[in-house]
Amino acid sequence: MVDMIAHLTKSLRLRFFSLHCYDDQIPKRRVLMQKVLKLLIGGSVVTAIDSKFALADVRRAHEKLDSRQVLAKILLLPDRIAPQAQ
């Protein structure tokens, strides 16, 4: 018999967490969201951005997403800030 627990502790894994786990616990979710926002605003947590597209270029953004070559977030920017798009 194979001890799967021993193998799992040596294997690569991804961990995923969502605040939606607390959708039914509004007060707790609010506290956690405030903590997360504080970390984001303070720069302790940074979101990786793969690319930016003007909202008018949504087709190109979807094509890039469909290519499965995206390792971070794709941002769609409103027209008023679209000149900053890359």
Is the pLDDT at 86 greater than 50? The verdict is no
Domain tally for the chain?
2
**Domain check: are 5 and 22 in the same one?**
yes
Residues 35-60 have pLDDT tens digits of 989 998 998 888 888 999 999 999 99
Most confident residue range from 3-7, 11-15, 25-29 = 25-29
pLDDT the model gives residue 20? 84
**Domain check: are 19 and 51 in the same one?**
no
**Domain check: are 2 and 40 in the same one?**
yes
Residue 82 pLDDT grade (very low, low, confident, very high; cuts 50, 70, 90): low
- Residue 56 or residue 83, greater confidence: 56
What range does the domain containing 61 cover?
Answer: 47-86
**Domain check: are 55 and 42 in the same one?**
no
Q: List C-alpha distances in Å: 69 to 25, 38, 47, 72, 80.
A: 36, 31, 17, 9, 28
**Domain check: are 54 and 32 in the same one?**
no
**Domain check: are 41 and 58 in the same one?**
no
**Domain check: are 56 and 19 in the same one?**
no
**Domain check: are 1 and 13 in the same one?**
yes
Count of CA atoms in the C-beta half-sphere (13 A) of 82: 9
**Domain check: are 62 and 73 in the same one?**
yes
Rounded Cα–Cα distance for residues 31 and 61 (Å)? 34
